[in-house]
Chains A and B, each alone.
Chain A
Amino acid sequence: MTRVGLIRLVVIAALIGALELACRTGLIDHRVVIAPSEMASALMALLASGSINADIERTLGVIAVVIALSIALGFAAGVIIHALPRLREALDPFFATYYAVPVFIFYPVLIAIFGLSPIPIVLIGVATAIVAMIIATLNGLDRVPRVLIKVARVHRLGRLATALTLQLPAAAPYLFTGIKLSVSYGFIAVIAAEFILSPAGLGRDISDAYTDFNNRRMYALILFLLIIATVVNAGLHALDMRFAERRGGART
């Protein structure tokens, strides 16, 4: 491990240790925050009991559907919009302000339309995550060097072959940024929606545990979600690094 990595580990361990100490000595009321070791043991017990398996499946399943739909539809929409410059110009102001607007404010409207089911959650999730993918696709296609298109023409490649062998790889880094953003927006939107109103799911569980003053359960669930999100993000980051390395290697 590098020196910087070591220092980082020490800093994180010190922060967790300080929290542990503050909780154990009563400096922080256990009704407010419970000790990190207690969070971990509560999570172990909860996972071993299997009582939250259905909710884990439901929430992670909905998130997966949201992410898959956002990436696929966002990419398709990006390709179409890129081909229609006039539509794109008209849409530009909407894209520029989209993430400035709390889209989930429309979640209650969707519940009113579709009722209490996973559909409004999926819709609000896709509505939140898809635009990042569209913007990333447009960016990526913009950055494809013109010379590549000329090369394709020289080699008499068809539209599809050009797209698959030249345009897609050239746009890949931007597409990956879109994927990363879609993943994190997907998580946020689904959990927010479950918090607001949902018949089941981890977000609903956390909010129930909060209203029941069941701190052990609440912190265990929060810890679980944070671990999942961190693992997923770290995995994507590692993939990104590997792609970047390969691109760097190919160029030299």
Chain B
Amino acid sequence: MSGTEAVTATRRAIDTLALLLVMLAIWEVLHRIAGETALPAPIETLSYLIRTVPTPRFAENAAATAEAFVFALILAYGMGLAIGIWMGAHRLSGAVGEPILVVLYSLPKITLYPVVLLIFGLGISGKVAFGAMHGVLPVALLTMGAIRAIPPVYLRAARTLHLSPWQIIVTVLLPAALPEVFTGLRIGFTVTLLGVLLGEMFASKAGLGAMVMNAMSLAQSQEMVTVAIVLFAFAAIANALLFRIEHRLHRRVRD
């Protein structure tokens, strides 16, 4: 049984690899059509990537992005969980607040970027605020949904045991809601990264987003594509890891 599973897994990996090669081929063809300045050749860009990533200049920008991202993530998770738990546990607040959160979630928050800049200025706080603003809503909405879906009998049991509100949150609500909450955290992770990068693209002198904009104004397409690939790889790997944890949590609850 596991033998055939391994065979399908290898086949799938080979298919995905083949698809990657097809994409590289398309890239090469586009390069031939668009020309060197617009879209550099894949091989040259990859060698540029290997040369550029270890340089201090790249490391500094990556560190700037990472710093802003960590702060934004802490804010988004903290506020999102707080709002989600509150609105999930308190029925009236949830009923009043949910549509407001949904509307805010679907708004193109990018429009508010100038406002964030005016309030927080050009430095790291603007990036952090913009990232947190994006991440807080999915975390809050999914946490709220998860807490609402907890069977009421758990809460009744908690009340019979005279648990304090804090104990109820830590020992009953969070463990029962963990898989769903984690889905929110995973989505919040990617959306926050998106917000931070957007912030860097519009108004920042440091960070990977700023590097892309800088490369664009100097028409350095190799650098542009290099940063894009690094970000792509980071987001893809992080997402795959979080996805795997989430999967395991869901399975544990079902068993």
Contacts and interface: CB of A to CB of B under 8 A. Distances in A.
Interface of A: 4, 7-8, 11-12, 31-33, 86-87, 89-91, 93-94, 96-97, 99-102, 104-106, 108-109, 111-113, 184, 187-188, 191-192, 195-197, 203, 206-207, 209-210, 215, 218-219, 222, 225-226, 229-230, 233-234, 237
Contact of A207 (B95, B107, B114, B232): B114
B227 to A, nearest CB: 7
B109 to A, nearest CB: 8
A113 B202 contact: no
B100 interface: yes
Interface stretch (B54-62, B149-157, B216-224): B216-224
B106 A233 contact: yes
A8 B99 contact: yes
B15 A222 contact: no
Nearest to B215: A108
A191 B12 contact: no
B236 interface: yes
Q: Is the interface of A mostly helix, strand, loop or mixed?
A: helix
Contact of A11 (B30, B96, B194): B96
30 contacts: A4-B96, A7-B92, A90-B18, A93-B16, A93-B240, A96-B240, A97-B236, A100-B189, A101-B231, A102-B235, A104-B198, A105-B197, A105-B227, A108-B215, A108-B216, A109-B221, A111-B216, A112-B219, A188-B108, A191-B108, A191-B111, A197-B216, A203-B111, A207-B114, A210-B114, A210-B117, A215-B118, A222-B112, A225-B108, A233-B103
Contact of A4 (B12, B19, B92, B111): B92
Interface of B: 12, 15-16, 18-19, 30, 34, 37-39, 92, 95-97, 99-100, 102-103, 106-115, 117-119, 189-190, 193-194, 197-198, 201-202, 209, 212-213, 215-216, 219, 221, 224-225, 227-228, 231-232, 235-236, 238-240, 243
A35 B114 CA distance: 16
Contacts of B18: 90
Nearest to B232: A101
Nearest to A190: B108
A90 B19 contact: yes
Contacts of B189: 100
Contacts of A222: 111-112, 114-115
B239 to A, nearest CB: 4
A225 B38 CA distance: 32
Contacts, number: 143
Contacts of B12: 89-90
B106 A109 contact: no
Given A109-B225, A222-B114, A100 B190 contact: yes
Nearest to A63: B108
Contacts of A109: 38-39, 221, 224-225, 228
Contacts of B236: 93, 97, 100-101
Contacts of A93: 16, 236, 240
Nearest to B190: A100
A192 B219 contact: no
- Most chain B CB neighbours (cut-off 10 Å) among A188, A191, A233: A188
Contacts of B112: 222
A105 B108 contact: no
Contacts of B216: 108, 111-112, 197
A70 to B, nearest CB: 15
Contact of B39 (A100, A113, A196): A113
B224 A96 contact: no
A90 B215 CA distance: 33
Nearest to B18: A90
A196 B202 contact: yes
A183 to B, nearest CB: 9
A91 B221 CA distance: 27
Contacts of A233: 103, 106-107
Given A89-B15, A91-B19, A109-B39, A102 B231 contact: yes
Q: Which 9 A-B pairs have the closest CB atoms?
A: A90-B15, A108-B216, A100-B239, A100-B190, A210-B114, A97-B236, A100-B235, A113-B38, A112-B38
